[in-house]
Structure 1
Amino acid sequence: MSSSPHIRSKVTSSNIMLYVTIALLPASAFGVWNFGVSALVMLICTTASAVLTEYIYEKLMHKKITINDYSAVVTGLLLGLNMPASAPWWMGVLGGIFAILIVKQLFGGLGQNFMNPALGARCFLLISFTSQMTTFIYDGVTGPTPLAQLKSGEMVDSMSMLIGRIPGTIGETSVIAIVVGAIFLILMGIIDLRIPGTYIATFVVFIGIFGHFANPDVGFFDPQYITAHLCGGGLMLGAWFMATDYVTSPITKKGQLVYGALLGILTGLFRLFGGSAEGVSYAIIISNLLVPLIERVTLPKPFGKGGEK
């Protein structure tokens, strides 16, 4: 809790989560249109398992049933959007159970989880089922994502990446659909530009400077290379919908700027110099773990304290 004064608001957790759910619908609809029925099945499995796990756990533990706050819906939907459409349905169910039971409920429920539950579950699935989680089928053909092509030095079509006609996870492919949802959240006052703006700006600077060292054929601040990195992978989905999670991001304004810059640097490091072409999930989780430290060093001093002598 931040220091006083506090301002009471009529906005509730259920209102916020409902708005986030609505904002995720464009990316969800495009993912189903792009990848077919298998994407819809995956989204249903992850969302249903998340909601059902929360209900059963709270029922068994004799706690207040909180599934009507939509937080489990958001977690399940985000997990589904971070899954390949080609992954088996039971993997989505397992991920939904892990996200709610292990990452959320065992640490106290909504407001107490130490990392984003959806990303925690995705990383768990990536470690446990690497092959299925990194296999992408598009138009009946199994192939690498544009980021993997970019990392290997191949050319990519940035316009296709912007529109979303590319292989990838269900919700990360269309930048346009993601931005539409993000604009809705901004207009409704659910998020602001501080975290995603700092994240994206820092990432652009990092890729612009160090992209040449990872790929000598790329010049400093190469527009096409930077655009491809911005449109590829889970950067946009992570920046607007997961890095801005209230529970796992700093509450201080300066802390949010530090947090966003850290996300940009880590994502750039993982993408350019790591073994994988992606890095958003691990960047956000590591930054989540550092939030208490970030808040400690950026907490405003109480009025009248700490003045110069």
Structure 2
Amino acid sequence: MIESTPQDISIAFAPHVRKALSTQRIMLDVVLGLVPALVVAGLFFRLYGLLLIGVCVAACVATESVCNLIRKRPSSVWDFSAVVTGVILALSLPPALPLWTAVIGAVFAIAVGKMVFGGLGANIFNPAMIGRAFLTASFGILMTTWTVPATIDAARPAVAPTNDIQDIRTQATPLAWSKVAIKDSNGARIYNERHPLLRGLFGEEAGSLGETSAVALLLGGLYLVMRKIITLHIPLAVLLSAFVFAAIAYLVDPDKYVPPFYHVTSGALLLGAFFIATDPVTAPLTVRGQWLFGILIGGFTMLVRLVGEYPEGFMYAVLLANGVRPLIDRLFQPVPMGGVPNV
């Protein structure tokens, strides 16, 4: 045995790694960060909302297990990434969505959005958004049917009374009302009367299961920041760019466009900025790249909201940004000392 003395032991320069961030711990922290949104979902959308979340999680976990068996790979269920995908997918869905539809979306999210690429760490696009995009393309009416918060039967949600089930025409969500405002010279005033800012902050609005309460999502996002699971670069880039675009539109025509705070606190922006865009697998690696990535998401989201016919554009924005993420990483690739930029 080789003996060593204290003089033979050297300590490396700081910073020192004190504890490792395992995939399991990261995923569990993300789930904990979503707990406030889950509580609000249960409060306003009752038993069926919680059942929808459970079904999505179970379908995602089961699909990943089956895919691993088919590929003869070790089980990856206990890294809890499938659980996170299921929860985020469920929170992005309409509260009245039939359970069988949610199962289809969950299976597609894991099988096509994740396992086809090789599993966790190899996927190009956010799996939850892949699942939601597939459901939106396949079941457009079901994906644009919204329920009224706090007026839901314990067995099955009551759908908001409407003459047409299409989201843009039902005007059930705040963003759909903002579309009406754009087409009405007095629309912004009508929107402000129908959708007070405080109502949107605490979740008393129609919308997807987990996007209605800005306060709950901010609490969860700050938890992730405090736990150092995410940094603020992407969330700030998403929210600030969306705010700037909305503010420009509002300054151009305040009677036509709603104030920017409404855009930031409505729809999928907060859920997406903290829990979807920050996915470490599909987000850029460098700080500059993350800022550009977030600006692309916030800008394209507002482009759809202000110009497009569909009231919400975050899902398309994040998938578009995921697609150009390799280019962003290449553009902002760190150059070693004495090296030549790889253009």
* TM-score, structure 1 as length reference: 0.92
The residue aligned with 2:287 is: 253
Question: How far, CA to CA, are the matches of 1:11 and 1:298 in structure 2?
Answer: 25
The residue aligned with 1:217 is: 255
Question: How far, CA to CA, are the matches of 1:7 and 1:277 in structure 2?
Answer: 47
Find 1:202's aligned residue among 235, 241, 257: 241
Find 1:105's aligned residue among 101, 109, 115: 115
Moved beyond 6 Å, runs of 4+:
none
The residue aligned with 1:187 is: 226
The residue aligned with 1:23 is: 33
Q: Which amino acid aligns with 2:255?
A: D
| Other structure's SS at 2:145 match | coil
Question: How far, CA to CA, are the matches of 1:94 and 1:306 in structure 2?
Answer: 48
| Other structure's SS at 1:152 match | helix
Question: How far, CA to CA, are the matches of 1:195 and 1:112 in structure 2?
Answer: 21
Question: How far, CA to CA, are the matches of 2:16 and 2:272 in structure 1?
Answer: 29
Structure 1 residue 266 corresponds to structure 2 residue 276: no
Q: Which amino acid aligns with 2:276?
A: M
Number of aligned residues: 297
Instruction: Please list the CA deviations of residues 238-270 of structure 1 after superposition, one character each: whole Å capped at 9, or x if unmatched.
Output: 000000000000001110111111111111101
Backbone CA RMSD of aligned residues: 1.7
Paired residues for 1:271-286 under 5 Å: 271-286=305-320
Gaps of 5+ in 2: 1-14, 152-157, 162-169, 182-189
Structure 1 residue 241 corresponds to structure 2 residue 269: no
Question: How far, CA to CA, are the matches of 2:20 and 2:201 in structure 1?
Answer: 37
Structure 1 residue 157 corresponds to structure 2 residue 196: yes
The question of whether the paired residues in 2 share the 8 Å contact of 1:211 and 1:272 is answered with: no
Q: Which amino acid aligns with 2:55?
A: C
Instruction: Please list the CA deviations of residues 129-178 of structure 1 after superposition, one character each: whole Å capped at 9, or x if unmatched.
Output: 01010110103424510111112014122111111001001100011111
| Other structure's SS at 2:112 match | helix
Question: How far, CA to CA, are the matches of 2:120 and 2:255 in structure 1?
Answer: 47
CA 1:129–1:7 in structure 2 vs 1: closer, same or farther (change >3 Å)? Answer: farther
Structure (1/2) with the larger helix percentage: 1
Counting aligned pairs with the same residue, the percent is: 37
Question: How far, CA to CA, are the matches of 2:16 and 2:285 in structure 1?
Answer: 14
The question of whether the paired residues in 2 share the 8 Å contact of 1:46 and 1:79 is answered with: yes
The residue aligned with 1:77 is: 87
Structure 1 residue 62 corresponds to structure 2 residue 72: yes
The question of whether the paired residues in 2 share the 8 Å contact of 1:218 and 1:225 is answered with: no
| Other structure's SS at 1:137 match | coil
The residue aligned with 1:173 is: 212
CA 1:94–1:270 in structure 2 vs 1: closer, same or farther (change >3 Å)? Answer: same
Question: How far, CA to CA, are the matches of 1:137 and 1:17 in structure 2?
Answer: 29
Instruction: Please list the CA deviations of residues 30-49 of structure 1 after superposition, one character each: whole Å capped at 9, or x if unmatched.
Output: 11110111101110110000
The residue aligned with 2:45 is: 35
Larger Rg computed on CA atoms = 2
Instruction: Please list the CA deviations of residues 59-83 of structure 1 after superposition, one character each: whole Å capped at 9, or x if unmatched.
Output: 1221010100000000000000011
The question of whether the paired residues in 2 share the 8 Å contact of 1:27 and 1:174 is answered with: yes
The residue aligned with 2:96 is: 86
* CA-CA distance at 1:7 after TM superposition: 8.3
Gaps of 5+ in 1: 1-5
* TM-score, structure 2 as length reference: 0.83
The residue aligned with 2:141 is: 131
Question: How far, CA to CA, are the matches of 2:277 and 2:298 in structure 1?
Answer: 11
| Other structure's SS at 1:33 match | helix
Q: Which amino acid aligns with 1:171?
A: G
Question: How far, CA to CA, are the matches of 1:158 and 1:147 in structure 2?
Answer: 13
Q: Which amino acid aligns with 2:265?
A: C
Q: Which amino acid aligns with 2:224?
A: L
Q: Which amino acid aligns with 2:53?
A: L
Q: Which amino acid aligns with 1:168?
A: G
* CA-CA distance at 1:216 after TM superposition: 5.8
The residue aligned with 1:300 is: 334
Structure 1 residue 287 corresponds to structure 2 residue 326: no
CA 1:176–1:52 in structure 2 vs 1: closer, same or farther (change >3 Å)? Answer: same
Question: How far, CA to CA, are the matches of 1:241 and 1:211 in structure 2?
Answer: 28
Instruction: Please list the CA deviations of residues 209-238 of structure 1 after superposition, one character each: whole Å capped at 9, or x if unmatched.
Output: 13456x66147xxxx611111111111000
